[in-house]
């Protein structure tokens, strides 16, 4: 499933062709994805100007002049691909629609945005912009890891005294929003902290020191266009390439890249998910 960097990469790709423009035509090509589309979705989008695009955790929010926002969740395999007359690029041809193209938005300057989702675990909804944090998918999310409200004392307060492994705690979206399996593995490897360690057995200073590592990993991944392991594509169809710099995730049996370590990356299962770490340098 796309994590924060992949979703932010998609948001940034959509912003130049959507922000400030009207949606001149909308085509809804099926009644649902993971859940049914909202009532009168086409009428509530068509002819409206997009004010801005935001991201909250793993969700894209498209704010409309009507006071509503289109919430987009990419799910497991969702993609948003831009084609057409895109200002400042050489991409002019509209791509032919495919079997799994479920929602099509045509913008006033000629760009077309297509939501493609082969596995249909994605979702779209419309919500009141002013009350977006009350939406069931957003209501219990923790702070944004790249935002000003996320700092050492905040993370310490969220983790201190918890008996769960630190990896599980960081995957909890109530602790911090947007982190997933890939980036938690990468963060913990860089921090030299075992994913198996219980939160209540980690020194406060080590917990607080995770914050700049989380920020660095996410910022590097966004700059690389995210990680493309199976389905993720940028809005122009290109792959992300952060996966080429993984230090731990997916590297079972390979030498640990930490200088002077000499260990090898191990894979274990935690709560049904694969965890990759180095037992020699992650303590």
* CATH for 228: 1.10.8.50
The pLDDT tens digits of the residues spanning 144-189 come to 999 999 999 999 999 999 999 999 999 999 999 999 999 999 999 9
Q: Mark whether 109 and 169 lie in a shared domain.
A: no
What percent of the chain has pLDDT above 90? 88
At residue 87 the predicted structure's pLDDT band, cuts being 50, 70 and 90, is: low
Q: Is residue 146 part of a domain?
A: no
Edge-first strand order for the sheet with 59-64 is: 50-56, 59-64, 68-73, 123-128
Q: How many other C-beta atoms are found inside a 10 Å radius of the C-beta of residue 241?
A: 13
Q: Residue 100: which of 39, 2, 29, 26 has the closest Cα?
A: 29
Region at 11 (left for phi over 0; alpha for psi -120 to 50; beta for the rest): alpha
Catalytic residues, by residue number, are 2-3, 58, 273
Owning domain of residue 45: 4-134
**Helix (H) / strand (E) containing 111:** strand 111-117
Question: Which residue in the block uniquely carries the two structure tokens 């130049």?
Answer: 16
Q: Is residue 141 part of a domain?
A: no
For residues 65 and 184, state if they share a domain: no
95-128 residue pLDDT tens:
778 899 999 999 999 999 999 999 999 999 999 9
In this structure, the answer to whether residues 249 and 127 fall within a common structural domain is: no
On whether residue 144 sits in a domain, the answer given is: no
Q: Look at residue 30 and tell me if it is in a domain.
A: yes
Q: Are residues 192 and 249 both part of a single domain?
A: yes
The residue whose two tokens read 């390439």 is 241
Residue 140 belongs to some domain of the structure? no
């Amino acid at each position: 499933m796309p994590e924060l960097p992949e979703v932010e990469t998609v948001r940034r790709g959509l912003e130049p062709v959507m922000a400030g423009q009207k949606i001149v035509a909308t085509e809804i090509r099926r009644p649902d994805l993971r859940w049914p589309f909202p009532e009168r979705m086409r009428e509530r989008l068509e002819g409206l100007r997009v004010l801005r695009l935001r991201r909250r955790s793993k969700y894209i929010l498209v704010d409309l002049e009507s006071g509503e926002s289109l919430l987009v969740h990419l799910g497991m395999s969702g993609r948003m691909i831009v084609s057409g007359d895109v200002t400042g690029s050489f991409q002019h041809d509209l791509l032919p629609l495919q079997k799994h193209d479920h929602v099509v938005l045509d913008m006033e300057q000629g760009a077309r945005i297509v939501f493609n989702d082969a596995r249909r675990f994605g979702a779209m909804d419309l919500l009141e912009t002013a009350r977006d944090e009350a939406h069931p998918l957003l209501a219990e999310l923790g702070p944004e890891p790249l935002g000003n409200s996320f700092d050492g004392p905040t993370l310490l307060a969220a983790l201190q005294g918890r008996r769960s492994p630190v990896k599980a705690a960081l995957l909890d979206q109530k602790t911090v929003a947007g982190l997933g399996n890939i980036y938690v593995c990468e963060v913990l490897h860089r921090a030299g902290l075992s994913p198996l360690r219980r939160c209540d057995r980690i020194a406060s200073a080590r917990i607080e020191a995770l914050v700049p590592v989380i920020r660095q990993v996410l910022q590097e991944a966004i700059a690389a266009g995210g990680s493309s392991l199976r389905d993720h594509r940028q809005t122009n169809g290109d792959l992300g390439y952060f996966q080429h710099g993984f230090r731990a995730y997916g590297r079972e049996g390979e030498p640990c890249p930490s200088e002077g370590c000499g260990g090898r990356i191990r894979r274990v299962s935690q709560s049904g998910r694969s965890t990759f770490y180095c037992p020699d340098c992650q303590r």
